[in-house]
Chains A and B, each alone.
Chain A
Amino acid sequence: MSSENTDQIKRTEKISFTFDDQTVEAYDGETIAAALLRRGVIHLRNAPNSNTARGMFCGMGVCQECVVEVDGYKVEACRTKTSNGLIVKKVSYV
């Protein structure tokens, strides 16, 4: 599949970060959401009221569905870049 390195598409070196307990490989500099999608991880959080599963939706920083936690901040996974050793967590609501 073309989402990996191919003859035609050259990507950066692989790095790894964690999403909760999972270690995830990513191409250096790609967004958290893209890296997770490549690994088939698309369930990023549960909605606060209905508790339904949510993942990336608008892909451009508008809908806030892809929000994850990095260093205690809520960030848009579709716009936040990965880096080696980055610790990403699912958000939880009170």
Chain B
Amino acid sequence: MGCGTALRASEGGMNTIIIDQSDMGQGASGVNAGTLSMQIKRVKLMPYAIKGHDMWQKMGQEVDFHKTGGYTLAFNDREADLLHDRMTMKKEAGANISFVSPAILQEKEPSLAQKIVAASYCPDDGYANSSLTGQYYRKRITQLGINYMENTKITQINETSTGYEILSGENRIQTKRILFACGGWLKEAVSLIGEDIPVNARVNTVSVTERAPRLMNSVIGHATGLLTMKQKNNGTVLIGGGWQGIGKPSEGRGKVVMDSLIPNLQLAKFAAPKLAKVRIVRSWTGFEANVPDFYPLAGKLGKRDNAFILGCVRGGYTIGPYISSLMGDYILGKEPEMPLFDPSRKFEQGKLI
């Protein structure tokens, strides 16, 4: 999202530099499961997700965008009720979601489990290949001639009369404005200028299989949100669902643990039984920023006029390109098309049902 904002700010005439401690787009945006699903988006964020989805669609082939349609599954009555309530609300919020009978689903996706009691469908759902996020942005940024520094960790930030001085090793950069778009590393980053925000990091697990015979054509989800699954054109199946690994952003890239990986894979196998014979070639984790109410952070940092923060919680991949363009406008001093999310709001504890 830092890259997206930089593009917008630079197009608006600002002299911009991007600094990343690692490679461009290798944070959450480069390791996530790439699901672009309306069905897993939160009701209040739906308008943003729809815009974000359009932007991914425009990036098209360069990010391996595919609109496959997506099914969300319920395996028992409790989940069916949950699915019904949630999807109805999302539909009202503007998502193109309908309910389908298990019989129709069986016809469209014959390799899925027999035990499905209810399902919903959204034709707009699909995926992009998150591995290509960095590649895409690096290209755009180079085209626009925006400066960037990779593998440069910011170690100190001094406030100056005109803005900020950013230090990293030998490097010193003077800037009028600063945007923190450090994902799971946000808390650590803003502490460099003495701010504290209630952000922690989720450690999401994703796995990929080797090439398998065609097992599914659409993006598959689960009523609880604990499974996302898609089979790419090359036959590999990506399995996610937000199961938590361990580790801290300050200590590497997190670790996969069997206690959460195994149930994640069991659920996938339950939904698509033929996966049983397919081999997993890699499981990994990525850090995602998390705040108590699970909404994005987008706006001014504390009481400062020239420091900003942009962090996205849950589903940030879909929304990312759009909310970063709003952020870019905001930094340019323009009124954003849709409201941002004040980082200084009072955070109510969001509910997990």
| Residue ranges of A at the interface with B (Cβ–Cβ < 8 Å) | 48, 71-74, 92-94
Contacts and interface: CB of A to CB of B under 8 A. Distances in A.
Contacts of B213: 92, 94
A41 B234 CA distance: 28
Nearest to A73: B277
B102 interface: no
A48 B281 CA distance: 16
B235 A93 contact: yes
Contact of B235 (A71, A72, A73, A94): A94
A35 B234 CA distance: 31
B211 A94 contact: yes
Contacts of A48: 211, 234-235
Interface in B192-210: 210
* Interface of B, helix, strand, loop or mixed by DSSP: loop
Contacts of A71: 277
B176 interface: no
A74 B234 contact: no
12 contacts: A48-B211, A48-B234, A48-B235, A72-B277, A73-B279, A74-B210, A74-B277, A74-B278, A92-B213, A93-B235, A94-B212, A94-B213
A72 B276 CA distance: 10
Interface string B255-283: 00000000000000000000001110000
* Interface of A, helix, strand, loop or mixed by DSSP: loop
What range describes how many residues of B lie at the interface?
Answer: 10 to 19
B334 interface: no
B146 to A, nearest CB: 33
B277 A93 contact: no
B214 interface: yes
Contacts of A72: 277
A74 B234 CA distance: 17
Contacts of B210: 74
Nearest to B233: A94
A74 B213 CA distance: 12
Nearest to A64: B210
A94 B214 contact: yes
A75 to B, nearest CB: 9
A48 B279 CA distance: 16
Contacts of A94: 211-214, 234-235
B279 A74 contact: yes
Contacts of A74: 210, 277-279
A74 B211 CA distance: 10
Contacts of A92: 213
Interface in B208-227: 210-214
B234 to A, nearest CB: 7
A73 B278 CA distance: 7
B152 to A, nearest CB: 35
A73 B280 CA distance: 12
- For the complex of A and B, 4 pairs with smallest distance between CB atoms: A94-B235, A72-B277, A73-B277, A93-B211
A85 to B, nearest CB: 20
B210 to A, nearest CB: 7
Nearest to A93: B211
A11 to B, nearest CB: 31
A71 B274 CA distance: 12
B25 to A, nearest CB: 24
A74 B210 CA distance: 10
A94 B274 CA distance: 15
Nearest to B210: A74
A94 B211 CA distance: 8
A93 B214 CA distance: 9
A20 to B, nearest CB: 17
